[in-house]
Amino acid sequence: MAGVGTSEVKLLGTWSSPFVLRVRLALSLKGVSYEYIEEDLKSKSPLLLESNPVYTKVPVLIHDGKPVCESMVILQYIDEAFAGVGPSLLPEDPHDRAIARFWASYIDGTFLKASGQASSGKTEEEKAEGKKQAAAAVETMEGALKECSKGKPFFGGDNPGYVDVVLGGVLAWLHAGDEMKGVKTFDPATTPLLAVWAESFDALDAVEAVMPDVSKLVEFAMAWIAQAAATAAAAAAATK
């Protein structure tokens, strides 16, 4: 990737991971040059195992030979390590920074958790409850966007910031899910601010440069669903 910066930056990731995408978005928005290395998580490279021995998962940012793990931690590291390079992700004011961190944590701890339960719950009741909680989280995020943006296009104001990148990392998967289910997670009728936000974020050149193709994500998801169904069928047959 072209961009500014003289230090060596590598990113270990997988193309379909929303957490890897967060890091790619941050690097792209700031204009930091890096080498992207696609990992096969079924046959993890020695570099990945060495760089993240605790979790052995992606993303891993390697800056001048020093690894940094976990997407939220990496985003904050990028903002500090490349201060003065491109726009800042986190605001300067300490209270505003705390608010941004709070909403980023809410996206992971509440919205994504509920969305995961809605799609992968063990029972239909669990899935229904996850769907209900995810819908409530979207309404809460609509209010958060109104509060944080102060009438500007993004959570970060005139330019995308930390919360935009955190939520933007899952945006392609939200589009894929909407396409598969025939719904709109960010419905203009119920969450107009988030609907406009998504369009504005998607339209950024730095975002378009790294966003995965939604149709490929749909194919990926359908293959995963088919494989999971086959595995479940085989397990059920084995118990008979």
When pLDDT is averaged across residues 192-204 and rounded to a whole number, the result is: 98
Q: Is residue 192 located within the same domain as residue 98?
A: yes
Whether 18 is in a domain gets the answer yes
**How many contiguous H segments (helices) and E segments (strands) does the chain have?**
11, 4
Whether 176 is in a domain gets the answer yes
Please tell me the distance from the alpha carbon of residue 62 to that of residue 59, in angstroms, as a whole number: 10
Please tell me the distance from the alpha carbon of residue 112 to that of residue 170, in angstroms, as a whole number: 9
Name the DSSP letter for residue 154: B
Q: Is residue 202 located within the same domain as residue 128?
A: yes
Last residue of a domain, one of 52, 81, 110: 81
For 63, the enclosing helix (H) or strand (E) is strand 60-63
Whether 193 is in a domain gets the answer yes
Closest CA to 42 of 25, 59, 30, 56: 56
**For 52-86, what is each residue's pLDDT tens digit?**
999 999 999 999 999 999 999 999 999 999 998 99
Q: Helix or strand or coil: residue 28?
A: helix
Whether 192 is in a domain gets the answer yes
Domain range enclosing 105: 94-214
Please tell me the distance from the alpha carbon of residue 162 to that of residue 166, in angstroms, as a whole number: 6
State the pTM of this model.
0.93
Q: Is residue 159 located within the same domain as residue 64?
A: no
Number of domains in the chain: 2
Last residue of a domain, one of 28, 54, 81: 81
Whether 219 is in a domain gets the answer no
Cβ neighbourhood burial of 20 (10 Å; 0-12, 13-18, 19+): buried
**For 133-187, what is each residue's pLDDT tens digit?**
999 999 999 999 999 999 999 999 999 999 999 999 999 999 999 999 999 999 9
Q: Which amino acid, 176?
A: A
pLDDT band for position 46 (cuts 50, 70, 90): very high
Q: Which residues are CB-contacts of 38 (< 8 A; sequence separation ≥ 6)?
A: 13, 14, 15
Residue 150 near residue 157, CB atoms below 8 Å: yes
* CATH at 65: 3.40.30.10
Q: Which amino acid, 39?
A: E
* 4-13, 45-54, 216-225, range with the lowest pLDDT: 4-13
Q: Which amino acid, 174?
A: L
